[in-house]
Amino acid sequence: MSAPAAVTLEAIGKRFGDGPGAVQALTGIDLTVGAGEFVSLIGPSGCGKSTLLRIVANLIEPTEGSVQVNGKPARRARLDQDYGIAFQQAGLLEWRTVQGNVELPLALHGLDRGARRAQALELLDLVGLADFAGHRPSQLSGGMQQRVAIARALARRPALLLMDEPFGALDEMTRERMQSELIRICAETGAAVVFVTHSIPEAVFLSQRVVVMSPRPGRITHVVDIPLTARDEDTREAEEFFGAITEVREALRGRTKVEDEP
């Protein structure tokens, strides 16, 4: 028996407010993310990509449609901690050490101290921060803090990672390094990823599929397959990489014009 799809979205719609002032943020979203698949959501500001991610995370409820995560209703999946999540801000707790931050989801799930410690150290090793376990978040650079946040997202060994512009606040060099790290981590953990980003190269480099969205109301306009043969530093200079970037860019241009922030 094959694993259930990581995410199944059917006819999702989301309206904020009601009456004449209501805003239709999303409409008619159908999307399936397979187990272990890496899918990026890309689109201009206000296209509802973050809203969609929040619906998958069950932080907000859709007005229409149904959401399944790992074959369960989204709420059940959240309560079971079936997914890990990372935001643009690392959001680390300042009064906890790096290790303490990674242990937080484990502690909330009732793991005992020894198991927590062992698992946190293993995860910190995975993101290359084993030497910083006892540091405070404020002693780390932005990129390192974000790596701690990723380790924390992976703490429960989720089959699904939700990421909302996790590298958005990092400089370009750090950002590219983190992308390669993420590819490696995903290969090691086998987790599916839904990744929200503004950056076309980032989406192309990371994803097997790029979902292109357009605003007002937010909807999916194109789904671009990215059949890259390899994803390493050479890929960034490869012909097929630029080809895919062009394809996504044209998909974005097809239905959108530059618009102001909502």
Q: Contact residues for another protein (CB under 8 A)?
A: 57, 59, 78-81, 83, 85, 87-95, 104-105, 107-109, 137-138, 140-142, 145-146, 169
Residues 6+ apart with CB under 8 A from 153: 84, 85, 86, 161, 163
Q: Are strands 192-197 and 209-214 parallel, antiparallel or unpaired?
A: unpaired
Whichever of 46 and 137 has its CB closer to another protein, that residue is 137
- CA neighbor of 52 nearest in space, from 208, 252, 194: 194
For residue 74, the minimal CB distance to another protein (Å) is: 11
Whichever of 5 and 140 has its CB closer to another protein, that residue is 140
Q: Cα(39)–Cα(45) distance, rounded to whole angstroms?
A: 18
Q: Cα(244)–Cα(132) distance, rounded to whole angstroms?
A: 38
For residue 238, the minimal CB distance to another protein (Å) is: 32
For residue 118, the minimal CB distance to another protein (Å) is: 19
Whichever of 90 and 154 has its CB closer to another protein, that residue is 90
For residue 90, the minimal CB distance to another protein (Å) is: 6
Whichever of 161 and 252 has its CB closer to another protein, that residue is 161
Q: Is 221 exposed, middle or buried (0-12, 13-18, 19+ CB in 10 A)?
A: middle
Whichever of 86 and 248 has its CB closer to another protein, that residue is 86
For residue 143, the minimal CB distance to another protein (Å) is: 9
For residue 175, the minimal CB distance to another protein (Å) is: 13
Whichever of 73 and 243 has its CB closer to another protein, that residue is 73
Q: Cα(25)–Cα(55) distance, rounded to whole angstroms?
A: 12
Longest dimension (CA), the chain: 56
Bond prior to 20 in cis (omega within 30° of 0): no
